[in-house]
Structure 1
Amino acid sequence: MDLFTQSWTALRAAVAGLAEEDFGKPSGCAGWLVRDLVCHLVIDAQDVLITLATPESGEPTRDAVTYWEVSSTAPTGEDPLDALTVRLAAAYQDPALLAFHLDDVGSAAGRAAQLADPTARVGTRGQILTARDYLGAYVLEWTLHHLDLTAHLPAVPGPPPESLARARALLEQLAAAPFPAAWPDAEALLVGTGRRAPTAARRAELGALASRLPLVVG
């Protein structure tokens, strides 16, 4: 749960430090500009608030790893929900308003996470998780989207090392196999989720795992 706070705080700080022109640049998400990604983060923050306010009494059906649905089809940005995000982001017009909304809702989500009972059971997407596992799953979400945010903005600070390491561990559990130990955590996440195409040398290092990539989580 501490890593949820750390990764979310770092991501929000990175957005807060963006220049106005940065919002119009491409992100690491196919079909999305940085402003579209930031709008998606607002929706994510709302989801966190809704889930933490949705108590359940049943036994958990998912944990921090199995929370994620895995596909091999990379998003193109043309999905109806992805397209809706683009329209919502454009409606803000002034990037400062979008950044303010993320700070407002994102701060509330961060406070709710800090106040949550780790053992409490919450419901989302028809599943039940402990608050600890639900927030733990989001370390992967925040870290991947932090990498998306900085994909074409090299001057913007990236995710904390602890978040990268935990996100890699979650992805390796989803893959049921480790990525090459010599790979930096960010490289494993980018290649593993299809955000970066592996070179021939990288594919050779992946071995049998290469045929199972990308792991598109959602």
Structure 2
Amino acid sequence: MRPELASLRAAYTDLAEIALSLNEADSWCGTGCPGWSARDLFVHLLGDAQRALVALGTPANRPADRTASTYWIDSPGQEDPESRGLRSVRTMAAAWRLDYLTATYAETTRAVLTLAERCDAESVVATQGHALRVGDFLDTLTVEAGLHHLDLLVGVNRPGPKGEVLATIRRTLEGLLGHPAPAVFDDLTWARIGSGRKVISAADRIALGPDADRFPLIK
């Protein structure tokens, strides 16, 4: 199996298992996304999986203009001063029955994996105004899923992302940084620091040096 597909399979399979394990009380627990419960976050994740289905079926008909790393430079939703995205997701989440939401998420991610396996890794697809190689696009999906997996752990006690998912996040962040991460940071710590999910400590700042002011690399 292609490595980028294996990583996405690990990310999606783990999240689907978490989704299907949630009870009603779990679904209202907080997450690392301010203002969102676990239920809200799965509505967002479902939307991302649906976007993936559309993208994998949409040839770009032009060369790629983003890589797995540079996709994050101007990815949609980074700036939302009026919290429109937050409010719209909360509104949609209130309308879903939990078991239907989680089952829909699980079946949608399975469909994404099936379609991704049929796509040539070098073909170029269109999404959110950009064009990416399928291999790079799958990495962006893994990063999105892996970081939100970390967000879920704030409120629910479940296992964290697998090693291959964290390794994909590390490579992506290193691509944005322009060089390898300091060896002092393990993959989990690097994912949290690089995405703003961990406040940079004085020791972190020393390890990062002048790069510290560039963080978070993914917002």
Aligned mates of 1:121, 1:167 — CA distance in 2 = 21
In structure 1, the residue matched to 2:197 is 195
Aligned mates of 1:165, 1:44 — CA distance in 2 = 21
Conserved? CA contact 1:55–1:122, under 8 Å: yes
Q: Does the alignment pair 1:150 with 2:149? A: no
In structure 2, the residue matched to 1:207 is 209
Q: CA RMSD in A?
A: 2.1
CA shift in 2, pair 1:161/1:175, >3 Å: same
Conserved? CA contact 2:56–2:119, under 8 Å: yes
What does residue range 69-80 of structure 1 map to in structure 2 within 5 Å? 69=73, 78-80=82-84
Conserved? CA contact 1:175–1:215, under 8 Å: yes
In structure 1, the residue matched to 2:60 is 56
Structure 1 runs (4+) deviating above 4 angstroms are 73-78
In structure 1, the residue matched to 2:13 is 9
Q: Secondary structure at the match of 1:216?
A: coil
CA shift in 2, pair 1:152/1:206, >3 Å: farther
> Which amino acid in structure 2 is aligned with residue 52 of structure 1?
L
Moved more, 177-186 or 109-118: 177-186
- 1:163 shift after superposition: 1.0
In structure 2, the residue matched to 1:125 is 128
Q: TM-score, normalised by structure 1?
A: 0.89
- 1:179 shift after superposition: 3.1
- 1:18 shift after superposition: 2.4
In structure 2, the residue matched to 1:107 is 110
In structure 2, the residue matched to 1:32 is 36
> Which amino acid in structure 2 is aligned with residue 100 of structure 1?
A
CA shift in 2, pair 1:152/1:74, >3 Å: farther
> Which amino acid in structure 2 is aligned with residue 14 of structure 1?
I
Conserved? CA contact 1:193–1:215, under 8 Å: yes
Cα deviation, 1:140-186, whole Å, max 9, x if unaligned, reads: 11111111111232x30110011101211111111224333122211
Q: Secondary structure at the match of 2:158?
A: coil
- Give the alignment partner of residue 138 of structure 1, picking from 138, 141, 148: 141
Conserved? CA contact 1:70–1:215, under 8 Å: no
- 1:187 shift after superposition: 1.2
Q: TM-score, normalised by structure 2?
A: 0.88
Cα deviation, 1:59-113, whole Å, max 9, x if unaligned, reads: 2111211222259x97789521221111111111x32221112112222122111
Conserved? CA contact 2:20–2:99, under 8 Å: no
> Which amino acid in structure 1 is aligned with residue 181 of structure 2?
F
Report the identity percentage: 35
Moved more, 32-41 or 18-27: 18-27
Aligned residues: 214
> Which amino acid in structure 1 is aligned with residue 92 of structure 2?
L
Conserved? CA contact 2:56–2:115, under 8 Å: yes
